[in-house]
C-alpha cells in the first residue's frame, strides 16, 4: 500500500486501543515483513471504506438521527 505524504492526523487513543493496535500489528507481521501500527490503521481505513460502500444509505439515516438527537439536546 503506497504511503502518501500528507499532514498526519494525531488522534488520542486509549491504552486499550493502543494495545489492540499492537496486537494486530504483531499478528499481521511475519519474519519477512513487520507491520507497523500505522499500517494497521491504513488497512483498517481501507477495509472499513470497502465495507461501508454498500451501507451509505443506512449511514445517512443514522447521521440524520444523530443530528436530530443533537438538536433536541440543545433545546
| pLDDT value of residue 59 | 81
For residues 19 and 6, what is the distance between their CA atoms, to the nearest angstrom?
26
How many other β-carbons are positioned within 10 Å of the β-carbon of residue 41? 16
Q: Which stretches in the chain have pLDDT values below 70?
A: 1-7, 73-75
What residue segments make up the domains of the chain, in order of their start?
Answer: 15-74
For residues 24 and 28, what is the distance between their CA atoms, to the nearest angstrom?
6
| pLDDT value of residue 8 | 73
Amino acid at each position: 500500500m503506497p504511503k502518501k505524504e500528507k499532514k498526519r492526523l494525531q488522534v488520542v487513543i486509549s491504552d486499550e486501543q493502543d494495545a489492540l493496535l499492537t496486537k494486530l500489528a504483531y499478528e499481521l507481521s511475519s519474519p519477512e515483513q513487520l507491520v507497523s501500527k500505522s499500517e494497521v490503521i491504513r488497512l483498517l481505513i481501507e477495509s472499513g471504506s470497502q465495507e461501508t460502500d454498500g451501507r451509505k444509505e443506512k449511514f445517512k439515516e443514522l447521521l440524520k438521527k444523530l443530528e436530530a438527537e443533537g438538536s433536541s439536546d440543545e433545546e
